[in-house]
Amino acid sequence: MRTLAPLLAAAALSSTLASAAAPVPTPSRALTDPRSIVSPQMPQAATPSVAALFSEPASWDAAVTPDGRGLVYASDASGRLNLWHVDTAGGTPRRLTTSDDRHWGITVSPDSKTVVYGEDLGGAEMFDLHAVPVAGGASRNLTRTPEASEAGAVFSRDARRLAFSRRLKTAPSANIVVMDLASGAERTLTSETLPDRQWAAVEFSADGRAVYARRVDITGSVEDTLYRITVADGRAVPVIRKPVSPINPVSDISPDERWLALTTETADGRKQAALFDVRAQKLRMLAPGPWEQSSLRFSADGKTLLFLDNIDGRSVVKRHDIASGRTETLPLPSGMNTDYFGKLPAETPDGRIIFPHQSGTEPLAYWSHDRKSGRSSPFLRFSESAVATLPSTQVVTYPAQDGTRISAILWVPANARRDASAAAVVIAHGGPTGQTEDRYDATAVALAARGYFVIAPNPRGSTGYGRAFMRANIRDLGGGDLGDYVAGVKFLVDSGYVDAKRVGITGVSYGGYMTMIALGRAPDVFAAGVEVCGITNWTSMHERGSPALRAYQEGLIGHPVRDREVYERVSPLTYLDRYQAPLLVLQGDNDIRVPKYEAEQVVATLRRLGKPVDARYYPNEGHGLFKRENKIDGALRTIGWFDRHLRGIDPQ
């Protein structure tokens, strides 16, 4: 068996990592013994077809109707991501919208009669806002702005007006707009001048005369500020008027406007759930703990607040009673019990908790928790086929070269032999300020069902482990974080199952970037790569990418002129001549986050250098693959690529 010790030494690629005096602090947790990993014998385990796995419906966004009786959700059950409705007591879903384009960004009117959502034309992320009746009927385009994108709509309490964010296609910043739904008349309330600030609507005041809105610093270096903006004249007044510990997003406002649900930070940089008393101008911590937390939503009567602990990529949901100050942990199943947008879980007027549930091998379903009985059960399942195919995912923790503790989600195939013969694939997450959570991943399931060990680490730069860890890769992209991925490969090899010569890497967005820079900066570690809409050249990315992302990029690696050395050092383009492994490139034609030009650069350069590369470009897709036929095609190409280059199997 080939050892990875010299490869790990070579992968200490940045001066930041090499000179670290101590590990980056993270929550205390035990290291996992690689030899404790066991591949169970499951002779009955079937290998699901790729087409079947990627034809299973998924859901990306959902909202409970304010009366608690219905759930409006975005699902690709038809092959396209459109809107559906189902009773929270169970029943047959009804389709609300029909379009070739994706729909999400769901908000439901206070009377539970109307849904407003965003429609994205061809994946270009120029969203128009549409409205459709919850009972069914024709949808109506509210904005019709081909050169601007609207998002984050909230209703006034009388359901007559909307507040939302609008960003012009050529502008870096989004501003708050209020629309009268009957007439379509609009008023823009903010006029942002700084390229690193964005505005997001949170709620209307009870009397409808003002909008509460967040002014967000997208670099994360300045605290998030909540303003009360008068609709008549646009006058903005900060709601929190005295200095408190750093404030992160305000997620909700109580119906009486006394309390803010927010996330704050401790002195050591851990995000914690809190309440802010607007009248007394005082902060109340809810239930401080060692792991990062986030506040969610108030109940309809404003008496309770849901919040969650993020424990190594798994969510523990808690309920705080404001009057008594007591907090209870809800007995929900292990895995992820919250959505991407902070709308779920939500408490219904009759006291039920509606939540999504999934894990790495368990497809998403929508569940209801009855607090009186303590029982939880699904009322809408999309699939059950993958649950019996593989053992449950595991959270493992291993040491990086400098001793920093890195956690990862691990998919273990059944029926593997501990003889160093198995192939493995590393999945790198997007962001980089993101986190791999214990969510269902059809790609990981498809690979593991075919005998691959699949590991998805959370390297330095990830969220969920404190501010110091999140900022540990600033100006060091593809350095220390790449070293953490390589340490994950060592963990797999040390388990005794994996052949060090048969390890691949893949990822989307920043995960695609990590795939490309890994093949160049750690060429002896990875034998094949599949990148999806990743960054090849940070300079061209700054020039051609979405204006809304430039300030975020500068917060990571500086300015392309003043910090030219950093840009060159962290760009995969610099290392393409070192490639030893073949690369597959998958890219949407209409991607504005990471433009098609990034894919074209790496393909053209590798072909000029005589390196093995292949590419597939998808019309009418943007940042990632969402249409069913494209998801299936991309998955078949990905698995076929790894089968060919890691296992010597030619796809049929």
Distance separating alpha carbons of residues 119 and 130, to the nearest angstrom: 7
Of 288, 366, 356, residue with least CA distance to 320: 288
The per-residue pLDDT for range 229-260, each reduced to its tens digit, is 999 999 999 999 876 666 678 999 999 999 99
Of 145, 155, 207, residue with least CA distance to 180: 155
**Core vs surface per residue 568-579: b (16+ CB within 10 A) or e:** ebbbbbbbbeeb
Contacts of 378 (CB under 8 A, 6+ apart): 357, 365, 366, 367, 368
The per-residue pLDDT for range 168-192, each reduced to its tens digit, is 999 999 999 999 999 999 999 999 9
Distance separating alpha carbons of residues 363 and 382, to the nearest angstrom: 7
The per-residue pLDDT for range 268-314, each reduced to its tens digit, is 899 999 999 999 999 999 999 999 999 999 999 999 999 999 999 99
The per-residue pLDDT for range 384-442, each reduced to its tens digit, is 655 566 788 999 999 999 999 999 999 999 999 999 999 999 999 999 999 999 999 99
CATH code assigned to 389-647: 3.40.50.1820
Q: State the pLDDT confidence band at 603, using cuts at 50, 70 and 90.
A: very high
Helix (H/G/I), strand (E/B), else coil: 451: coil
Distance separating alpha carbons of residues 169 and 310, to the nearest angstrom: 35
Q: What angle do CA 239, 243, 245 make, to 5 degrees?
A: 105
The answer to whether residue 15 scores a pLDDT higher than 70 is no
Position 12 scores a pLDDT of 44
The answer to whether residue 1 scores a pLDDT higher than 90 is no
Q: What angle do CA 37, 41, 46 make, to 5 degrees?
A: 115
The per-residue pLDDT for range 24-57, each reduced to its tens digit, is 999 999 999 999 999 999 887 788 889 989 998 9
Joined together, the tokens standing for residue 258 give 């006394």
- Give me the phi and psi of 566, to 5 degrees please: -65, -45
Position 48 scores a pLDDT of 87
Whole-number Cα distances in Å, 377 to 11, 56, 72, 169: 46, 20, 18, 43
Pairing of strands 405-411, 422-428: unpaired
Distance separating alpha carbons of residues 544 and 134, to the nearest angstrom: 40
| Per-residue 3-state assignment (H helix, E strand, C coil) for 206-230 | CCCCEEEEEEEECCCCCCCEEEEEE
Q: Crossing angle for the helix pair 480-494 and 510-521, nearest 10 degrees? A: 80
Per-chain mean pLDDT for the chain: 93
Distance separating alpha carbons of residues 190 and 165, to the nearest angstrom: 10
Position with higher pLDDT, 221 vs 387: 221
Of 229, 237, 324, 344, residue with least CA distance to 284: 324
Distance separating alpha carbons of residues 340 and 271, to the nearest angstrom: 17
Position 386 scores a pLDDT of 53
Determine the residue type at 2: R
52's enclosing H/E stretch is: helix 50-55
Pairing of strands 175-180, 186-188: antiparallel
| pTM score | 0.94
Position 10 scores a pLDDT of 44
Please measure the distance between the N-terminal and C-terminal CA atoms of the chain and give it in whole angstroms: 30
The residue extents of the domains of the chain are 143-239, 389-647
Percentage of the chain beyond pLDDT 70 is 94
Position 652 scores a pLDDT of 61
Pairing of strands 314-321, 327-329: antiparallel
Position 209 scores a pLDDT of 97
The per-residue pLDDT for range 53-82, each reduced to its tens digit, is 999 898 989 999 999 999 999 999 999 999
Distance separating alpha carbons of residues 8 and 513, to the nearest angstrom: 20
